[in-house]
Amino acid sequence: MRSGFELGNTVYKFVEDVTLLETDKCIVKVFKDSLVLPLTFGNVQGYFIHGKGRLVVDTIIETRKGAFGKPTDKELKEPFIAIGDVGEIKEKTAEAEPSSLTVLGYGDVKALREKAEEICREVLRKTTFRRDFEKEGKRVFYFLTEGDSYDVLVSKENGKLVYVSKGKVFVFSDKKSLFTGFGEIVVSKGDKTVIVANGNVFVEKGAT
Amino acid sequence: MSESEWRDEIKRLQEEIAALKEQLKIVKEKGERKRGRIYIDINHRIRDYVEDVMEGIFEGISSELEKSVLIGPRGVAIYRKKPRVVEKEIEGDPVEIASIMSALGNEHRIRILRELMRGGKYVSELQEKLPEITPSTLSSHLDLLQDAGLIVQEKVRGRYLITMPGRIAYRMAVKIHKMCRGRLE
């Protein structure tokens, strides 16, 4: 196993719906009967999760010219990895029976661990976020999508949010916001906003 | 008549002649002054001709103004070139355009857009601001505006926000209304 992460040996399943992340801008939910395998990235706790869930991100920026972007609302069917403080989930899980693994296409625990290992390796190979895993209050999610690509969601306690999906980048914080997607680019910093939309460039100064 | 009487008579006649000469001189001077003025009696034909000419000139000026000057409620906009861009912008599928524009064709939806122009709002806030719209009608109006891309709803908090096309559509509707109302009055 490559150094940098370590997988647990026991596979659990959620016994109730669990909200892993909820802020003003995003929600990550996992539904009952989804499988979860604990893992660690260095000193940081993480989970490999596979089952059913929901991802909602309000990838919308408000400007004086109007709102840009659309909310992202995805059903989570593919496996994903959650790293960082996603709350205490021990009380909401129980050891998974073999039948629970079979439902999701895993013959046994080994098969599930192999899948988890594959994704963890891919995450470490592709991402640069791993250096910041240990920062307090940071939660990082890697969602495997169709076509073996990844959506990445990073959330901090101070409200900062980064969401990268196919053709779409969204960065949100109190002072700075950025959105690219649907042929639009919006950058907002303090009281200044630059908008590139429909072949036009708008530069604004003043509160949104 | 004596010789002295003849002389008096001649002297009187000479004075009269001098007076007449003086009057004649004044009349001549007045006549010269009046010579610079031309008085023309304009009959109907001449007046009609002049009116036709003036009408033609005004039509020409109006046509040029329509091409290069937009008189709106906020002032006068002057194009240096012919507004070809406007012609380019109106290209598009009439069915799609009508579909989007139909979202503006309802006074309740216009009121909703006007409220959202002032800032994002939750349904409850919109309901409070627009009590004349029933909750179910408000919901269907919001769905329609959202389908047209004029507003967007946050999924997490649920607030409704007006989009850039929404702002443009609302402003356009208000401008058209003001211009049309001005002409009707």
CB A47 within 8 A of CB A115: no
Task: Check if B146 contacts A (Cβ < 8 Å).
Answer: no
Decide if A69 touches B, using CB distance below 8 A.
Answer: yes
Q: Which phi-psi region, left, alpha or beta, contains residue B119 (left: φ > 0; alpha: ψ -120 to 50)?
A: left
Of B152, B166, B168, the CB nearest to A60: B152
Average pLDDT value for chain B: 79
Structure tokens belonging to residue B79: 């194009």
> What are the φ and ψ backbone dihedral angles of B11, each rounded to 5 degrees?
-60, -40
pLDDT category of residue B27 using cuts at 50, 70 and 90: confident
Percent above pLDDT 90 for chain A: 38
Cβ distance of A62 and B164 shorter than 8 Å: no
Residue B62 amino acid letter: S
Other residues' Cβ atoms within 10 Å of the Cβ of residue B121: 18
Residue B111 has pLDDT above 70, yes or no: yes
Distance from CA of A149 to the nearest CA of B (A): 24
Tell me phi and psi for residue B2, to 5 degrees: -80, 170
pLDDT interval class at A132 (50, 70, 90): low
Distance, in Å, from the CA atom of A24 to the CA atom of B102, rounded to the nearest integer, reads 33
Q: Does B19 touch chain A (CB under 8 A)?
A: no
pLDDT at B185 over 70: no
Q: Which of B150, B152, B168 to mutate to test the interface with A (most CBs of A within 10 A)?
A: B152
Mean pLDDT of B90-106: 85
Structure tokens at A195: 């908008």
Residues 6+ apart with CB under 8 A from A201: A194, A195
Q: What is the dihedral of CA A193, A197, A202, A204, to 10 degrees?
A: -20
ipTM: 0.82
Look up residue A36 and give its DSSP letter. E
For the segment B100-119, the average pLDDT, to the nearest whole number, is 93
| B157 chain-A contacts, CB cut-off 8 A | 24, 58
Closest residue, chain A, to B165 (C-alpha):
A66
Res. A2 pLDDT band, cuts 50 70 90: very low
Q: B149: pLDDT confidence band, cut at 50, 70 and 90?
A: very high
What's the confidence (pLDDT) of residue A1? 39
pLDDT at B3: 78
**B163 contact residues in A (CB cutoff 8 A):** 66-68
Whether B161 sits inside 8 A of A25 (CB atoms) is no
Q: Could you report the per-residue pLDDT of A84-101, keeping only the tens digit for each?
A: 877 778 889 999 998 999
Q: Which of residues 81-120 of B touch A (CB under 8 A)?
A: 120
Chain B, nearest residue to A59 by Cα: B154
Do B156 and A56 make contact, defined as CB atoms within 8 angstroms? yes
Which chain B residues are closer than 8 Å to A63 by Cβ? 164
Tell me the shortest Cα–Cα distance from B70 to chain A, in angstroms: 22
CA distances from B155 to A116, B71, B144, B161 (A): 30, 42, 17, 11
Most B CBs within 10 Å: which of A22, A28, A61, A62, as the mutation test of the B interface? Answer: A62
A52 lies within 8 A of chain B by CB: no
Contacts of A68 in chain B (CB under 8 A): 163-164
- The whole-angstrom distance between B117's CA and the closest CA on chain A is 8
Mean pLDDT (chain A) is 85
Average pLDDT over every residue of B122-143:
95
Distance CA B140, CA B153 (A): 13
pLDDT digits (tens, 9 = 90+) for A3-50: 578 899 899 999 999 999 999 899 999 999 999 999 988 788 889 999
pLDDT of B151 reads: 96
Contacts of A25 in chain B (CB under 8 A): 156
Looking at residue B145, what is its pLDDT? Answer: 96
Given a cut of 60, is residue A130 above it in pLDDT?
A: no
Chain B residue with CA closest to A208: the answer is B119
